Amino acid sequence: MNHKYDAIIVGGGVMGGSIAYYLAKRGRKVLLLEKDQLASKSSGAAAGMLGAQAELEGDSPLFPLAKRSREMFPHLSKELKEVSGVDIEFINKGMFKVALSNEEKSALKNIMDIQRNAGEEAEWVSTEELLKVEPFLSKEIKGGMYIRKDGQVSAPQLSKAFFQSAAVLGAEIKEFTAVHSFIFEKKKAIGVETDDGNFYGENIIAANGAWSRHLLQKSGLELVVYPVKGECFFVKTDKPLLEKTIFSHGCYLVPKSGGRILVGATVKTHTFDRKVSLDGIATLMEKAKELLPVIAEAQWEKAWAGTRPQTGDGLPYIGEHPEYHGLFIATGHFRNGILLSPITGELTADLVERKIVPELDRFNLNRSLQPIVS
């Protein structure tokens, strides 16, 4: 039989793009299949925060991976720019995770202690100190945790940079090509069936986010992966209102280049629809004004929604299929897909090369065999 590709990646989001990039960089012959347009669901919609410490508490099993991935960005940013010409708009100015009540303040200080005990940098700033750096923030904020290392990128640009770099390095990318099922031979995955015919490869990697559940059912694997809609919007001001990302309970404000602020994000579980609701926007606006009152005068640009893949226990699935050799899965990164994409790409490339990757043990597929109710 004629194995055409070293690896066939199912899913054209940031995860598929990163895996394609790292495999192509290692000289592998890669085919990436996307049923619609690249980065059109979650990856192009994300806020691009690299919130290893802001999003995860110090004792999450995902924390070590998140930190390692975060550390990859400074170099990756240059590397992708060089290969593809695409600037991922990496900004390394830190984040304030702020408290709006004394309860939130205690909770945050607690998280901070855990992280500092784990050797992470984090620092409490009083309201006064906060306002010195970010003078437009509300005086009602009860201070916050300053996380120097949590930066940000442009999620659409990062996705584009991965795809373009992978293509430059020889990867083939086919949009509008839906994968219907895997082709197995003697407990080994050897290809995929698509609208555009069958494709064969030594390795198959399912990186299709919330859509992976249905596809993997056909392999007998019942992953607890479900879609979570998130709505966001952009406003613009003539002069920058913020230097750093502001992260609070239920709302974040991410300052982007050109005077834009990205405000996100709602959390609506179990729907694939990407419609923006009036109430989604209204709620975010309320919270944004609570944090940054002058945002009221900012210019409205646009709203959108994305579909993030969440899992039963809140941890991604990264590993080989428990029954079918050569079938790998990388999905379920929820709100941390942008942050985790480099490390997921690199380690999945290791898996494909049959390396032993103990840091992925915790994310293996076997835990799906005892389904957890979502």
Residues within the interface to its own copies (CB under 8 A)? 84-87, 89, 91, 160, 164, 167-168, 172-173, 175-178, 180, 195-196, 214, 227, 235, 238-240, 256-259, 270-282, 285-286, 288-289, 295-300, 302-303
d(CA 12, CA 336) in angstroms, rounded, equals 17
- Of the pair 361, 371, the CB lying nearest its own copies is at 371
What's the number of CA atoms in the CB half-sphere (13 Å) around residue 96?
A: 27
Cα separation values, 35 from 10, 32, 47, 64, 165, Å: 9, 10, 23, 33, 20
Name the minimum Å distance from CB 176 to its own copies.
4
Q: DSSP for 10-74, please give it.
A: E--SHHHHHHHHHHHHTT--EEEE-SSSTT-SSTTTS--B--HHHHS-TT-TTHHHHHHHHHHHH
Minimum separation from the CB atom of position 136 to its own copies (A): 14
201: phi then psi, degrees, rounded to nearest 5: -155, 160
CB atoms within 10 A of CB 289: 14
The widest CA-to-CA distance across the chain, in whole angstroms, is 69
> What CA–CA distances, in Å, run from 132 to 56, 91, 129, 253, 300?
27, 20, 5, 18, 27
CA–CA dist 313, 242 (Å, integer): 35
* Whether residue 265 has a cis bond before it, omega within 30° of 0: yes
Residue with Cβ nearer its own copies (301 or 323) = 301
Closest separation between CB of residue 351 and its own copies, Å? 26
CB of 56 to its own copies, least distance (A): 26
Q: Which is nearer to its own copies, 186 or 239 (CB)?
A: 239
Closest approach, Cβ 240 to its own copies, in A, equals 7
- Pick 178 or 267: Cβ nearer its own copies: 178
For its own copies, give the closer residue by CB, 96 or 363.
96
Strands 225-236 and 268-269: antiparallel
Write down the least CB distance from residue 142 to its own copies, Å: 24
Residues in the chain: 374
- Residue placing its CB nearer to its own copies in the complex, 242 or 329: 242
Minimum distance from residue 133 beta carbon to its own copies (Å)? 16
Q: Which residues contact 235 (CB under 8 A, 6 or more apart)?
A: 260, 261, 263, 295, 298, 299, 300, 301
Q: What type of residue sits at position 103? A: E
CB of 217 vs its own copies, minimal distance in Å: 9
Of the candidates 13, 31, 56, 259, the one whose C-alpha atom is nearest the C-alpha of residue 145 is 56
Cβ proximity to its own copies: between 91 and 192 the closer is: 91
| Residue whose CB is less far from its own copies, 162 or 334 | 162
Q: Residue 264's beta-bridge partner residues?
A: 232, 252
If the CB atoms of residues 207 and 241 are measured against its own copies, the closer one turns out to be 241
Residue 292 CB, nearest distance to its own copies (Å)?
10
**CA 265: distance to chain centroid?**
13
**Tokens 């290809």 found at:** 191
Identify which of residues 86 and 347 has a Cβ nearer to its own copies in the complex: 86
Tell me the closest approach of the beta carbon of residue 74 to its own copies, in angstroms: 15
